[in-house]
């Protein structure tokens, strides 16, 4: 069986193409019905995020056949032709496919190394595949192992301990000031990508309320709905500052959005509660003089970039350790996969010896006459133990076939040596006929 992974990501394809080929809008039921119709696919899972689209399959056909069918599958989902995107695809098979998956789930292949969202996204994709009966023995084992690898990476390295995006750095600074962000009220000024990322991180820290203020109310409504918040217009900002704990501003305004006087006017009503501003807009949205007010903290994009640069080198060091964990776990998984080819032979050998044991035990009990239940149980345990000990070395020898170039030759020899295509009763009947 071959494992094949086909996809494109932020490193191989521009965002314009990733948008066209994304699978987010496809209903999982329809998506997996189409995937399972492919002749070459035994099991399959689709991953689709803003930065990548990948299809992971197992197949008994050639890798080239799998690639061709999956290309046409991706094209059909989005009304494209394979030629529209095939130059941007990467293909991994066998150990490389496993290693790539482990890198992705551990966030070593992300645009921001160590970001936590990818693990949740792939778990959701796996749930869809299971729900639609598209994942079987191999991919179940592979995905569960991938999740445990991601856990090892996060537990044994500090790869996720340092903020390496401006939005995440902003939230980390807020957390240091407030101690914890659970229950805090957030005001997002602007509804662009930076504000969206900040909102995701804040919700992860269990912020209780998010209000989105934007010049265009329509855009504010879209973002507020996504984060179960409230949408307002910019003119409502002064009244909102009274109850807000954290303000993240990222508009495209050429002028200041929040003035020093605006903030000063609400301080008395706030009763000395700290107010935290993060200004990630260029030009700046928040008057720098705000920082001179009591219990008010202001960080602009330059402050945050310094934090990000410092933390990038820390993550790079941790990534080296994380990649070693991925390599180690990839080898373990491949060892398990290689035993799958020999599993039917091991099962056949166990079944045949169990058949012989049962037949001989039955004959012996019949010849001995009446025996107590304890005596029969003792003979049962003794014969089982005897067979297990006799089979131990042959089974270990067969398992090692998975790592051998001449695996098929050894398996054929084992079948001939133990007559695994023939039942014990058939063999006994033949021997009796010969003797007769």
> Residue range 87-101: average pLDDT?
94
Q: How confident is the model at residue 165, as a pLDDT?
A: 66
Binning pLDDT at 50, 70 and 90, where does residue 196 land? confident
Binning pLDDT at 50, 70 and 90, where does residue 37 land? very high
In this structure, the answer to whether residues 25 and 133 fall within a common structural domain is yes
Q: How confident is the model at residue 432, as a pLDDT?
A: 47
Structure confidence by residue, pLDDT tens digits, 60-72: 888 899 999 999 9
- Catalytic residue IDs: 50
Q: 322, 108 in Cβ contact below 8 A?
A: yes
Domains held by the chain: number: 3
Residue 201 pLDDT > 50: yes
Q: Which residue did the predictor score with more confidence, 263 or 428? A: 263
Q: How confident is the model at residue 70, as a pLDDT?
A: 95
**Whose CA is closest to 18, among 53, 64, 63?**
53
Q: Which residue did the predictor score with more confidence, 115 or 288? A: 288
Output Rg (C-alpha) for the chain, integer angstroms.
31
The answer to whether residue 315 sits within a structural domain is no
In this structure, the answer to whether residues 181 and 140 fall within a common structural domain is no
Q: What is the rounded average pLDDT for all residues in the chain?
A: 85
Task: Look at the block and give the residue holding tokens 């003035």.
Answer: 259
Structure confidence by residue, pLDDT tens digits, 362-420: 999 898 888 898 999 999 999 999 988 998 888 777 777 655 566 677 778 888 888 88
The answer to whether residue 141 sits within a structural domain is yes
pTM of the model: 0.58
The answer to whether residue 320 sits within a structural domain is no
- 239-274 core/surface letters (b: 16 or more CB in 10 A; e: else): ebbeebbbbbbbbebeebbbebebbeebbeebeeee
Lowest-pLDDT range of 205-219, 260-274, 417-431:
417-431
In this structure, the answer to whether residues 129 and 70 fall within a common structural domain is yes
Q: Give me the phi and psi of 5, to 5 degrees please.
A: -125, 125
- Percent of the chain beyond pLDDT 70? 90
In this structure, the answer to whether residues 177 and 302 fall within a common structural domain is yes
In this structure, the answer to whether residues 122 and 183 fall within a common structural domain is no
In this structure, the answer to whether residues 264 and 286 fall within a common structural domain is yes
Q: Which residue did the predictor score with more confidence, 116 or 368? A: 368
The answer to whether residue 327 sits within a structural domain is no
In this structure, the answer to whether residues 33 and 119 fall within a common structural domain is yes
Which residue segment(s) compose the domain that 245 sits in? 166-308
């Amino acid at each position: 069986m071959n494992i094949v992974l086909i996809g494109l990501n932020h490193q191989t394809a521009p965002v314009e193409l990733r948008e066209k080929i994304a699978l987010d809008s496809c209903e999982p039921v329809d998506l997996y019905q189409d995937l399972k119709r492919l002749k070459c696919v035994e099991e399959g899972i689709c991953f689709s995020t803003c930065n990548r689209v990948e299809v992971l399959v197992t197949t008994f056909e050639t890798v080239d056949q799998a690639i061709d069918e999956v290309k046409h599958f991706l094209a059909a989902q989005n009304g494209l032709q394979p030629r529209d995107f095939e130059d941007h695809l990467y293909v991994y098979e066998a150990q490389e496919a496993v290693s790539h998956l482990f890198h992705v789930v551990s966030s070593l292949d992300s645009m921001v190394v160590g970001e936590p969202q990818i693990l949740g996204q792939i778990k959701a994709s796996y749930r869809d595949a299971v729900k639609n009966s598209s994942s079987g023995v191999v991919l179940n084992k592979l995905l569960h192992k991938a999740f445990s690898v991601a856990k090892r990476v996060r537990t044994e390295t500090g790869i996720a301990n340092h903020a390496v995006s401006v939005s995440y750095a902003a939230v980390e600074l807020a957390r240091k000031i407030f101690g914890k962000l659970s229950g805090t009220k957030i005001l997002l000024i602007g509804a662009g990508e930076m504000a969206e990322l900040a909102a995701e991180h804040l919700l992860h820290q269990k912020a209780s309320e998010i209000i989105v203020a934007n010049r265009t109310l329509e855009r504010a409504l879209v973002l507020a709905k996504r984060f179960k918040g409230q949408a307002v217009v910019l003119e409502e900002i002064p009244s909102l500052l009274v109850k807000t704990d954290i303000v993240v501003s990222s508009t495209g305004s050429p002028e200041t959005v929040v003035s020093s006087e605006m903030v000063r006017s609400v301080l008395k009503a706030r009763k000395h509660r700290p107010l935290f501003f993060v200004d990630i807009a260029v030009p700046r949205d928040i008057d720098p003089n705000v920082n001179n007010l009591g219990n008010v903290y202001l960080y602009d994009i330059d402050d945050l970039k310094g934090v990000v640069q410092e933390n990038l080198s820390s993550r790079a060091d941790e990534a080296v350790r994380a990649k070693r964990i991925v390599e180690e776990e990839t080898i373990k998984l491949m060892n398990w996969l290689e035993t799958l080819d020999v599993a039917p032979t091991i099962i056949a050998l166990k079944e045949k010896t169990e058949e012989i044991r049962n037949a001989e035990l039955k004959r012996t009990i019949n010849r001995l006459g009446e025996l107590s239940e304890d005596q029969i149980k003792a003979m049962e345990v003794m014969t089982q133990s005897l067979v297990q000990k006799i089979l131990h070395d042959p089974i270990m020898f067969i398992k090692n076939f998975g790592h051998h170039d001449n695996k098929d030759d050894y398996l054929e020899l084992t079948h001939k040596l133990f007559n695994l295509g023939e039942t014990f009763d058939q063999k006994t009947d033949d021997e009796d006929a010969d003797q007769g």
